[in-house]
Structures are given as structure tokens and as C-alpha cells.
Amino acid sequence: MQLVVTSEIRFCRKPDGSIWGLAGPYNFWARYLDVFDRVRVVARVLDQAEADPSAQRADGSGVEVYGIPYYVGPTEYILRLCALWRSLGKAMAQSDAVIFRIGLQLAPLMARKLWRTGHPYGVEVVGDPNGVFARGVIRHPLRPLMRWWFVREQRALCARACAASYVTERTLQRLYPTGGLEVAISDVLLPNVMEWAIPSAMNLRLREHSRRREVHEADTITVASIGSMDQLYKGFDVLIKAIALCQRDGLPLRLTLVGDGRYRSRLEELASRCGVAALVTFTGHVGSSEDVRRVLGSADLFVLASRTEGLPRVLLEAMALGLPCLGSEVGGIPELLPTECLVPRDDHITLAATLHALATNPAEQERLGKANIVTAARFCEDAIGPRRLEFYKAVRQATEKWNAQHAHP
């Protein structure tokens, strides 16, 4: 049986036909092959001569990326709506299984084709549009209307699904309940944490810290944060303001921001206005997981001051490395971090105070780092693999049953 999966990821197609993207590599989609025979990923694909140097190949054995009309933003989406409707209709056969990785545009549009026939589908709930369109996250004149509309659509998608997986353990389930099977499955691809985090990652941190001591940075505390700069979701502006407050108090902090996007120049200007441009390093996009671990390995603390989240992959990766972490009280972050490591969103004053307290308490850093490894172990492949298979099998069985009832002689 073929599985059709919708994705909001934007890919590029090179002249040789291969598909590449900054997210969604082949091994991510290949997980579905544990239950399904073939996987067709329905997503936006743009033809380009060369892929981004940090991109990873998405297609491969058993995995096809089906390109639909390319668009960026709500205006282009509306202009291409008719073409998208026709393309989505061609993307699947009647007998295919369907899983929506719930996004803001493709999943609701394609679901309407299935609702007319009662064709079953599964949903993977990876985010909350109520947070995505909250004040201060997206600047658009229609933001309140879009917030109401997409929350309504996501609730309808989940309510009618035969099975739903959530990246959180409680938060998204409460907001977007389903009438079918409900499972909590992180989409983070962590190997067995207890096997790799302590011997390899912790040794990596020790090597990086030893290197820093050699260049006379022993007294400097390095804070890291990672995320896209296409929107202000990740609260980098809040973190920069908090670093500025700590610097005025004499705390020797340096900040490493990993990521890129249209707001990068604005964030660089903010760092200059706050007087901390020399303390903030913008690395740009880092593609491979090894590079991400290297950045995390050279840090003392990790901060995720997000305005909206599902269950953040990068936070779990930092926790698995034994880093003490701070995060905002949004999405699934409170499910990962203890209360003393949480701060209100958009509150740079409280973040600065919490950061100062943790940065000046080495014993607390060590305690939290060890606790974070234990928490991250709940999200290793050995722990979540059986739940993922249960979800996939539920979607396949519901589709087989529907196909038997609607088989043509």
C-alpha cells in the first residue's frame, strides 16, 4: 500500500531530478516504510540548478516527493488555489493511505477531498496555529482572522481523523482532540540517548571547553540558541535583550545564534542598538546534525525563548547532550523542563534574571544537565518506536477496511 503524506516543507529539484531540502531528509520519510510499501511526500517543489549547500536529499528508495505548485506566503497561496486543488486531486489514488503532517494550508485543502467520500486519514499534530498567529509572532493585517480560521481547521482535521499522533504528551491533545486513536510521538530523530549522549556528546563538550580555555575564554559563559529567522517565532530578539541586561550587570556572557532568514539583519541591528554586537555571533544556517551537536558541545547553556512551539527538536538535542536549558512557557516546553527553568514568553527581564542565576551556579548547571539527559531518554528511538508503529498500523488498517467496503467489481 502506498502512503501519501502532506508536508509544508519547501523542496528544490535539481536538473537530475533529485529532491533536496533544508528539512525533511530521506531517513525521516523512510520511517513510514516500516508499515507501508511506498511513500509519496506531497509538498512544494521548486526547480533549481543547485541546492543549498546545507540541504539534504529527501527522495530515495521507496520515497517519492510529488511536487505541487510552488508558493510562498498567503497571497501566493490564494493566487494558486485552483492549481493547488487540481494538483492535490492527482497526488493520491483512491486506495492510498493518507497522513497529514498538519500545516496551515495543504492539509485542510486536501482533507476536503477525503471528507466527501469518508476516506480515512491520520494526522500528525506538530504545532499550534493559535501560537503561530499570536500577537508579536506574525505581523499581518489579517492575523486575527487567520488565527481563528486555522485553529478551527486544525480542530476539524483532528476530530475526523482515524488516528492522531501528537509531538506533546498533553498540551496539543487538550487543544486539538481526536475521535480516533491518540498517541504521543515526538518527531525528533534521537538515537538511543543513553548510549550516545554521555560517552560521545559529553566528551565533545569537554574537548570544546578545553579548546576555549586554551584561547583564554575560560571565564566566558557561552549561551546558544538555534532556530529559523524567517519569523520571530524563536524569540531571538527577547534573548538578545536579556543578554544585554546580563552584560550590564557584569556577567561575562557570549551568545551564539544558529539560523538564518529574513529577520537576521533586524536581529543584528538590535544587537548593535543594545550594545552587545561584539558578544553575539550569528553563524547562519547549520545543516548537519553533527554541526548542530558541535555548536551545542561548545556551549555552557542553551536557551529557547520561543513565542510558539510544538515539542522543540533542538531543545531535546541540547538536553540529550547534558546542557542545562532555559525555555519559555509555551507549547510542549513545560513538559520537558522543570518550573525553575521556565520563563514567561516575551519577558526579557525575567529571562535575564533566570539566566544570571543559572550562569553563576555551576552546581545547579551540573544537576540540571544530568536531569536533562534522563528526560531526553524518554524520546529516544527505542522508547517511541513502538508507539509510532501503532499509529502507522492504525492508519493502514482503517484504509484497508475502507478499501474493502468501496472496492469496485
Closest CA to 126 of 310, 308, 309: 310
Q: In angstroms, how far is CA 248 from the centroid of its own chain?
A: 33
Residue 316, domain extent: 193-379
Same domain, 310 and 332: yes
Q: Is residue 35 part of a domain?
A: yes
State pTM to two decimals.
0.75
pLDDT one-digit tens code per residue, 102-150: 876 788 888 888 998 899 999 999 888 887 777 766 777 777 888 888 8
Q: Is residue 405 part of a domain?
A: no
311, 188 in Cβ contact below 8 A?
yes
Q: Is residue 252 part of a domain?
A: yes
Same domain, 138 and 215: no
DSSP per residue, 198-257:
IIIIHHHHHHHHHHHHHTT-TTPEEEEEE---SSSTT-HHHHHHHHHHHHHTT--EEEEE
Same domain, 155 and 132: yes
Helix (H) or strand (E) holding 273: helix 264-273
Which range has the worst mean pLDDT, 35-44, 295-304, 337-346, 399-408? Answer: 399-408
pLDDT the model gives residue 78: 85
**Could you give phi then psi for residue 225, rounded to 5 degrees?**
-150, 145
Residue at 94: amino acid letter: Q
Helix (H) or strand (E) holding 38: strand 38-47
43, 65 in Cβ contact below 8 A?
yes
CA distance 236 to 328: 12
The CATH number of the domain holding residue 199 is 3.40.50.2000
Same domain, 277 and 387: no
Closest CA to 373 of 182, 196, 146: 196
295, 254 in Cβ contact below 8 A?
no
pLDDT one-digit tens code per residue, 166-191: 988 888 999 999 999 999 887 765 65
Q: What is the number of structural domains in the chain?
A: 2
- pLDDT-derived band at 193 (thresholds 50, 70, 90) equals very low
Q: Is residue 406 part of a domain?
A: no
CA dihedral 212, 215, 220, 223 (to 10 degrees): -40
In terms of pLDDT, which residue wins out, 139 or 46? 46
CA distance 370 to 319: 9
Same domain, 91 and 147: yes
Q: Is residue 152 part of a domain?
A: yes
- pLDDT-derived band at 196 (thresholds 50, 70, 90) equals very low
Same domain, 235 and 369: yes
pLDDT above 80 (res 405): yes
CA distance 160 to 182: 12
How does 255-288 read in b/e, with b if 16+ C-beta sit within 10 Å?
A: bbbbbbbebbeebeebbeebebeebbebeebbee
